[in-house]
Amino acid sequence: MAKQARDEEFTEYVASRSGWLRKVAYLLCGDWHRADDLVQESVTKLYVNWSRAGRVENVDGYARKVLVNTFLAEQRSPWWRRTTRSGIEADAAGVSVDLDASLDLRQALAALPPRQRATVVLRYYCDLTVDQAADALGCSSGNVKSQTSRGLETLRTTLLVRPAAAERTS
């Protein structure tokens, strides 16, 4: 009976948080299909360790950490380096207020190195503190600060250059 209750609790959690996990995964990788794969792999890892996750104070934080670690591990694997798609546009999202700005931001975010992208997503999309992001990434607070700073600087530079170039061509 305990296993059935455990499975029901896990199923309820995943059903309520899968949309959020998918959005975080998409922001990390920039591809909806790959985001689905990341979420599936993370949910599998979460299920295997559900008894440990149930003992932590913040299950969302634990799930997010599993997702980010899965993304970063995939980035380091030889399989990912062999199958990187190039010259293919990222999947288009649903209706947006300013589609051009959204596309520019997604392209700029996708161009960041994986650790910088992860810190920017954790800090500004997931709204984590520096210490929480450091815990999720398994690194120091100083590392989070420097990666976030570099990532934001690259985003600013990339996003400021694009509109200026578009105005010159008009």
103 C-beta neighbours (distance < 10 Å), count: 15
> pTM of whole model > 0.75?
no
pLDDT in the model for residue 123:
93
| Listed residue (63, 70, 72) closest to 118, CA to CA | 72
Tell me: pLDDT of 68 over 70: yes
Residue 56: partners with Cβ closer than 8 Å, 6 or more residues away: 62
The model's confidence at residue 87, banded by pLDDT at 50, 70 and 90, is: low
Mean pLDDT, rounded, for 5-13: 91
* pLDDT tens digits along 35-50: 999 999 999 999 999 9
Mean pLDDT across the chain: 83
Q: How far apart (Å, rounded) are the C-alpha atoms in residues 58 and 74?
A: 25
pLDDT in the model for residue 161:
67
pLDDT in the model for residue 96:
43
pLDDT in the model for residue 77:
76
Task: Report which of residues 146 and 1 the model is more confident about.
Answer: 146
Residue 22: partners with Cβ closer than 8 Å, 6 or more residues away: 32, 35, 36, 39
Q: What is the DSSP string of 27-84?
A: HHHS-HHHHHHHHHHHHHHHHHTHHHHHHSS-HHHHHHHHHHHHHHHHHHSHHHHHS-
Reduce the DSSP state of residue 95 to 3 states and report it. Answer: coil
The model's confidence at residue 85, banded by pLDDT at 50, 70 and 90, is: low
Mean pLDDT, rounded, for 70-97: 63
| Stretch among 17-21, 52-56, 92-96 having the lowest mean pLDDT | 92-96
Domains of the chain: 1-91 (1.10.1740.10), 98-170 (1.10.10.10)
